[in-house]
Amino acid sequence: MSHDGHHSVVIPAPGPEFVPHTVAHHFDTPVQEFQSAKLGFWLFLATEILLFGGLFAAYFYYHDLYPETFRVGGQQLDWKLGAVNTSVLLLSSWTMAMGVRSAQTSQKQKTMLFCALTVLGAVIFMVIKFFEYKAKTEHGLFVFPHMFDNYQVDGSSNAGSLAWFTDVHNVMVDETGAPLLHGHLFFAIYVTMTAIHGLHVIIGAGLILWIMKGVAKGRFHAGYYLPVDLVGLYWHLVDLIWIFLFPLLYLVP
Amino acid sequence: MSAHAHNDSHGHGELQMGHHHVSSSAMFTNVLIVLLILTAVTVIASRIDFGPANMLIAMLIASVKASLVILFFMHMKWDTAINKIVFLSSFLFLSLLFIFTLADQATRRIDHPMHATKAKVSKEWAYPKPAMSEKH
C-alpha cells in the first residue's frame, strides 16, 4: 500500500530468468508510466535537435560566406574513414533496434548480444575518430591542442605559436598557394560538431552498458522494456545527427 | 494510444506498458540495407558536379535517411500523436532558425571585407600574431 491508498502495480516476470517490474508509485498504471517517460524523452530529443541545429546553422552560414575554405577543408578529411564510420553507426543503429525488439519479445540472450554489438560499434567509431583527430592535431589544424603549445612569454622561441591554427603543411590555400580566408573556420566547426557528437556516442555507449547490467538481472522483458526503448531512441539520434554530418564535413558540397 | 495492428501478445491485460509495436527483424534489415545504399548514393552524388544543387541533393538524401531512422528505427510511425508533434515541432523551430539566419545573410551588403569569399589575404592578416610583451 502506498501512502495514498493505492496498491503498487507490479508487472509480473514472464519467466524465471526475469524479475517483475514495480510501477513507480506516482503512476496509476503501467501505460501511464510508459507514456509519460516516452513523452519526456521525445521532448529531450527535441532539445538535442535544437542543440545541434544551432551548430548546423553556423555551418551553413559560414559555408555560404567562405565556400572555398570549406571545400578545401573538406578535402583534408578522409571521406573513406567518414563513410566507414557512417556504416558503423548505421549498423549499430540496426543492432540497437534489434536489441529493443529482443527485449520486447523477452529474449534475454539476444538482447544482451545486440546491446554488446552496439557498444562495439560505438568503440569502433570512436577509435576511428581518435586517429582522425590525431592526424589533424599533428597537422596544426585543430583548436584545442594548440592553444598553449610552445608558448614563450619572452617570445624567445616559437613566438606567435599562441595562434592555435598553425596549418604546418600549408594545406588551407587556394590554387595559387595563397592562404584561404579564415582557413581555421572549417576545422573549428568540424571539431565542435564532431566532438559534441562524439560525446553523445560515449554517453550512449555508457547508457547501453547500464542497460546490459539490467538485462543481466532480467529487468527487461515483454512486460517492461521502457529503459531499453529510451536508450535505443538516444542511440538512433546519435546516428541521425551523423547522417547529416557525414556529407557536410567529409563531402563538402 | 495509436490504433495499429500489433503482433505481440497481451496476455497480461493492463499489467503491461500498453500497446507495443514489435517490428519484424526483416523490416529492420530492409531499412538498414536502404540506408547503406543511400550512403553510397551520397558519396557518388558528391563526385558529380551539379553546381549549387550538390548541397540540395546531399541534404535531400540525408533527409530521406533521417526519415527512415525516425519512422522505423525510432518507431515514430507507431508512436502516439503527442510524441510525434513534440519531436517534429523541433524541426519547425529549427527551420525558423535557418530561415532568419540565412535571410539575414542573403540581404546583407556584400562589399564588406567579411563577405569577400575568395579574398587573397596574407597569413599575417588572417592570423595576426599576438603582441609579445617583454619579461620584466
pLDDT at A178: 84
Percent of chain A predicted with pLDDT > 70: 89
Domain A58-162+182-250: state its class: mainly alpha
Residue-averaged pLDDT of chain A: 89
Assign residue A150 a region (left: φ > 0; alpha: ψ between -120 and 50; beta: otherwise). left
Question: Is A163 near chain B, with CB under 8 Å?
Answer: yes
Nearest CA in chain B to A48: B90
Q: Which pLDDT band, with edges at 50, 70 and 90, does B104 fall under?
A: confident
Q: What angle do CA A182, A186, A188 make, to 5 degrees?
A: 95
pLDDT per residue as tens digits for the range A205-249: 999 999 999 999 999 999 999 999 999 999 999 999 999 999 999
Q: What is the distance in angstroms between the Cα of B123 and the nearest Cα belonging to chain A?
A: 6
Residue B32 pLDDT exceeds 60:
yes
pLDDT per residue as tens digits for the range A71-120: 999 999 999 999 999 999 999 999 999 999 999 999 999 999 999 999 99
Percent of chain A predicted with pLDDT > 90: 72
pLDDT per residue as tens digits for the range A111-136: 999 999 999 999 999 999 999 998 88
**Chain B residues touching residue A10 (CB < 8 angstroms):** 15
pLDDT at B111: 56
pLDDT at B135: 45
Domain boundaries, chain A: 58-162+182-250
Give the C-alpha separation, B36 to A182, whole Å: 35
Cα dihedral: B43, B48, B54, B58 (round 10): -20
How would DSSP label each residue in A175-241? TTSPBPTTTHHHHHHHHHHHHHHHHHHHHHHHHHHHHHHHHHTT--BTTB-HHHHHHHHHHHHHHHH
Residue in A69, A221, A208, A90 with CA at minimum distance from that of residue B29: A90
pLDDT at B113: 60
Assign residue A218 a region (left: φ > 0; alpha: ψ between -120 and 50; beta: otherwise). left
Verify whether the Cβ–Cβ distance A101 to B25 is below 8 Å.
yes
pLDDT per residue as tens digits for the range B41-69: 999 999 999 988 999 999 999 999 999 99
Q: Is A7 helix (H, G, I), strand (E, B) or coil?
A: coil
Range with the poorest average pLDDT among A13-17, A142-146, A183-187, A242-246: A142-146
The answer for residues whose C-beta is within 8 angstroms of residue B75's C-beta and 6 or more apart is B21, B23
Range with the poorest average pLDDT among A2-6, A118-122, A191-195, A200-204: A2-6
Residue A2 pLDDT exceeds 50:
no
Q: Which pLDDT band, with edges at 50, 70 and 90, does A195 fall under?
A: very high
Give the C-alpha separation, A228 to A103, whole Å: 7
Give the C-alpha separation, A208 to A93, whole Å: 12
Which of A8-12, A150-154, B109-113 is most confident?
A: A8-12
Q: What is the distance in angstroms between the Cα of B134 and the nearest Cα belonging to chain A?
A: 6
Q: Which of A31, A50, A104 sits opposite B94 (nearest CB)?
A: A50
Q: Is B113 helix (H, G, I), strand (E, B) or coil?
A: helix
Q: Which pLDDT band, with edges at 50, 70 and 90, does A158 fall under?
A: very low
- Residue the block writes with cell 507514456: A35
Residue B13 pLDDT exceeds 60:
no
Percent of chain B predicted with pLDDT > 70: 65
Give the C-alpha separation, A53 to A105, whole Å: 36
pLDDT at A6: 58
Nearest CA in chain B to A27: B17
